[in-house]
Amino acid sequence: MPLSFGEGQGVRFCVSPENKKRNCEIMPYHVTIIHAREFMQVTAEGTLNYEETKRQLLQCASLAISQSDSGVLIDTRAAHSVLSETNLWYLAAEFGKQLSLAGFKIAVLCPRERFDHAKFLELCSQNRGLNVMAFTSFEEAITWLFATSEVS
């Protein structure tokens, strides 16, 4: 089950860290975090089961999108398996076909050594009109999710 926080409460969010007092505002938030362990599926032999992984991720993302108003953070930092570039391309295509994501943001958080993979998923997703961005920093991902602009 994806982790949600906020539940419509207000949070003091500073747009500019160097000028906290002047640029702070109270804003509602609700972001859902999906961890890799919730969707990454492997076979008994230890190889990645792409079809089951895709199904689980789409199910988690669909639920998260229905419950979030700010966006979804997909945290892959603890993932032991890595999707191939081909699988990432197909995953972006499935996201575009199966999820209603108009005006919705998805941040993909990954370790630095897999940033190229996450950027490839970002590119494939953006080519399908989705607002997906790759990050190695949790703070930068959250800041982007809460930013008011539609497109980065």
DSSP codes, 13-41: EES-GGGTTTTEEEEE--EEEEEGGGT--
SS3 call for 22: coil
What is the model's pLDDT at position 64? 76
Query: Who has greater pLDDT, 17 or 145?
Result: 145
Q: Whole domain around residue 67: which residue ranges?
A: 30-146
Task: Tell me: pLDDT of 21 over 70.
Answer: no
The pLDDT > 90 percentage for the chain reads 27
Identify the residue with better confidence: 133 or 59.
133
Residue 2 located in a structural domain:
no
- Residue 16: inside a domain, yes or no? no
Instruction: Tell me whether residue 50 is in a domain.
Output: yes
Q: Residue 86's domain is classified under what CATH number?
A: 3.30.750
Which pair of structure tokens corresponds to residue 111? 């370790």
Q: What is the pTM of this model?
A: 0.74
14 falls within a domain: no
Assigned domain for 25 exists: no
Q: Please report which confidence band the pLDDT of residue 28 belongs to, taking 50, 70 and 90 as the band edges.
A: low
Question: Which whole number is the average pLDDT over 76-90?
Answer: 89
- Alpha carbon distance 93, 116 (integer Å): 18
Average pLDDT over residues 44-69: 81
Q: Is the pLDDT of residue 146 over 50?
A: yes
**Block residue for tokens 């895709």:** 54
What's the number of domains the chain is made of? 1
**Mean pLDDT across the chain:** 78
Q: Which of 59-73, 87-101, 107-121, 127-141 has the lowest mean pLDDT?
A: 59-73
In a domain, 59, yes or no: yes
Residue 46 lies in a domain: yes
In a domain, 152, yes or no: no
* pLDDT at 11 exceeding the cut of 80: no
User: Residue 137: pLDDT above 80?
Assistant: yes
